[in-house]
Amino acid sequence: MKRWIERLPKMELHCHLDGSVHPERIRAFYRQTGRPWPEEAPLRARESCESLTEYLRCFDLPLQWLQTEAGLEQAVRDLLGDAAREHIRYLEIRFAPTLHLEGGLTYRQVFDALARGCARGEAECGVVSRLIVCAMRHHTQEQNLALLDAARDYFPALICAADLAGDENAFPTALHAPFFRQAAAWGIPFTIHAGETGSVRSVREALDLGAVRLGHGIALARSPELMERCRASGVGIEVCPTSNFQTRAARGWADHPLRAFLDAGLAVSLHTDNRTVSGTDLNREYLRAVNEGGCTPAEVVRMLRNACAASFAPEEVRRDYLRALEEAAPGV
């Protein structure tokens, strides 16, 4: 099963750049700058992580490195190399551009550096990639609208969609309705982090705003009405099991809604969320779903097809991917 999963061509739609930085890049950065290594700042979440708040502390060090054009470009190239080794054909990379301005970069410098990283990574590894720009819930409407305006020139060749991330309990999704109304007006599709911390309200608000995908969506399982709404409209559900366990969105497989989502016919697919922080990769997520979550090979292929259908990839990329998946798993 492990070898079969590893050989399958894959798509990944929910992977954060700052949560997937190679640890050696951070250590080299500290050596080069002469800074003492902050022992109290982790790069990887504990299996016994107590909350989303604790989990998010693991992003502090990577974000310090990702304040330069060289760092951003290298991080993307590293990530695409990882993806190629996992037989990923297409990768959507999430990042919050405003968080990369603290060292003096402009939005344009950030986007151009990532564009170079994506182009070089694709040339080196053959993995097609696009970016999803994340507005932050704790940022003002003005900040997030400025981000969207800066990103507009890069859509759709580099940036394929928008997102909203952060503490959904403290900052409700509806607060950022102007951001998503503007995205819709400009023809930019969006996925929204919603339902990761148990908030059915957050899921409902995301759907009401027009999200075509939900990041995590764990709380969705608590509302048969919203589950049916997602099934009927084909909303993609981006599930990240290892991350969900670490943030206590789910306490274990018995508590995780993946099985309920599959049985209800939802367009669910598996993703890593944060490779370094969660100590995972996409092959591991699918293998865990089989060995621990009880998924069948047919359900693995079904989730990969779901990922393709929900992706913001160009039509020719999706078509080529489905052909490759059929060749790798004929009749499954």
Mean pLDDT calculated for residue range 151-175: 95
Question: Is 73 labeled as catalytic in the residue annotation?
Answer: no
pLDDT of 229 reads 98
pLDDT of 332 reads 86
Provide the 3-class DSSP secondary structure of residue 89.
strand
What is the sign of the dihedral through the CA atoms of 136, 140, 146 and 148? positive
Residue 281 and residue 285: Cα distance in Å, rounded?
6
> What are the backbone angles phi and psi of residue 136, rounded to the nearest 5°?
-105, 135
Check: pTM over 0.75? Answer yes or no: yes
> Percentage of the chain with pLDDT > 70?
99
Residue 318 has pLDDT above 80, yes or no: yes
pLDDT of 54 reads 79
List the catalytic residue out of 92, 196, 238, 285: 196
Neighbours of 172 (CB within 10 A): 14
Residue 8 and residue 11: Cα distance in Å, rounded?
10
- pLDDT, tens only, 34-77: 888 877 667 888 776 777 777 878 888 899 999 999 999 999 99
Mean pLDDT calculated for residue range 244-265: 95
